[in-house]
């Protein structure tokens, strides 16, 4: 499957102007469960996870080649690129969040909370103040498929913030079943967090002192469960689901869908104008150029 016809489903007239390439391209296939795409603008390449195969893969825009970026990879799941161009990764197998330095070494940003080992960090974002926010469900310790079977020392699945000043890990939300994808609004005043098991997306206000307030359900999934989440420049919220990408207006209305042939785990906006969608869907990496742009964040 090299490509297939793009199918945008319009559910609200406001979505009708959202469009893109006539064809969705399949850049690569052959993974077991692809996740965590992270775009590196300077190098024009994408890093993504093949979790059960315990490897990170790298797609090069200039050549179209896909190769192994890192293996073993700690059963890494979600990633982000920080404002200094470094890869920040959630390693389910090693139960930690790490940063890859320019010399290739790893710095552990978080592996414990109050002396207790994390479960299996899943997805991560960076705030402009340098803090790292991540979710910590149990997927990596539930079985040996995408991590190492083990017991939760914390006894719950929570959301955390790593303070940039002293590296302390703070719990910011403790009422999730299985927290997963997360994304800030463009001005960083709102944090959207998926609860996969509850099949919904929640909306939190971010306070000046790095806390979360509110947490009302913003959207509920009507096709399996939500996973990764991103925002575009218009403030629309895009979420990965079993039938593709769902797009919501900031008021919570489901505007439409981009249908894909495989269950979508995660995605990101990339390219020089942030208008290329890179989509990790089960065993395949898909892409298309769209007429919307990913949100631009302070300091990026």
Task: Provide the pLDDT confidence category of residue 267 given band limits of 50, 70 and 90.
Answer: very high
Question: What's the residue count for the chain?
Answer: 300
Structure token pair of residue 193? 């967090």
From 227, 232, 249, 251, active-site residue: 227
Which residue, among 48, 198, 211, 192, has the nearest Cα to 137 in the 3D structure? 198
Q: Does domain 3-289 have CATH number 2.120.10.30?
A: yes
Which residues are annotated as part of the binding site?
Answer: 35, 122, 180, 227
The torsion angle over the Cα atoms of residues 123, 69, 262 and 288, rounded to 10 degrees, is 90
Rg (CA), the chain: 18
Looking at residue 300, its pLDDT comes to 82
Mean pLDDT (the chain) is 97
- pLDDT, average across residues 4-16: 98
Q: Are 100 and 80 a contacting pair, CB within 8 Å?
A: no
What is the rounded distance in angstroms from the CA atom of residue 167 to the CA atom of residue 96? Answer: 13
Which residues are annotated as part of the binding site for a divalent metal cation?
Answer: 35, 180, 227
Note the pLDDT tens digit of each residue in 201-247.
999 999 999 999 999 999 999 999 999 999 999 999 999 999 999 99
Note the pLDDT tens digit of each residue in 106-146.
999 999 999 999 999 999 999 999 999 999 999 999 999 99
- How many other C-beta atoms can be found within 10 angstroms of the C-beta atom of residue 117? 17
Note the pLDDT tens digit of each residue in 69-86.
999 999 999 999 999 999
Is 54 catalytic? The answer is: no
Q: Domain extents for the chain?
A: 3-289
Looking at residue 1, its pLDDT comes to 60
Note the pLDDT tens digit of each residue in 45-56.
999 999 999 999
- pLDDT, average across residues 6-15: 98
């Amino acid at each position: 499957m090299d490509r297939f016809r793009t199918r945008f489903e319009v559910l609200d007239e406001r979505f009708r102007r959202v469009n893109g390439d006539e064809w969705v391209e399949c850049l690569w296939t052959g993974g077991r469960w692809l996740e965590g795409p992270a775009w590196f603008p300077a190098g024009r390449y994408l890093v993504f996870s093949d979790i059960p195969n315990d490897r990170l893969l790298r797609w090069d825009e200039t050549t179209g080649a896909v190769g192994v970026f890192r293996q073993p990879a700690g059963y890494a799941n979600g990633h982000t690129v920080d404002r200094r161009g470094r890869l920040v990764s959630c390693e389910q197998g090693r139960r930690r969040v790490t940063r890859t330095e320019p010399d290739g070494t790893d710095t552990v940003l978080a592996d414990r909370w109050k002396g207790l080992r994390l479960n299996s960090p899943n997805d991560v974002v960076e705030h402009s103040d340098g803090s790292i926010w991540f979710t910590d469900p149990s997927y990596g310790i539930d079985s040996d498929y995408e991590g190492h079977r083990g017991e939760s020392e914390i006894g719950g699945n929570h959301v955390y913030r790593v303070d940039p000043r002293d590296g302390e890990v703070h719990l910011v939300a403790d009422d999730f079943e299985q927290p997963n994808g997360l994304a800030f609004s463009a001005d960083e005043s709102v944090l959207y967090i998926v609860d996969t098991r509850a099949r919904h997306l929640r909306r939190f206000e971010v306070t000046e002192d790095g806390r979360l307030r509110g947490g009302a359900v913003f959207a509920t999934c009507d096709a399996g469960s939500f996973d990764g989440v991103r925002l575009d420049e218009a403030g629309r919220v895009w979420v990965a689901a079993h039938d593709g990408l769902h797009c919501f207006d900031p008021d919570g209305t489901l505007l439409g869908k981009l249908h894909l042939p495989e269950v979508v785990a995660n995605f990101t906006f990339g390219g020089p104008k942030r208008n290329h969608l890179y989509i990790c869907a089960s065993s395949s990496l898909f892409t298309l150029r769209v007429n919307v742009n990913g949100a631009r964040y302070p300091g990026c």
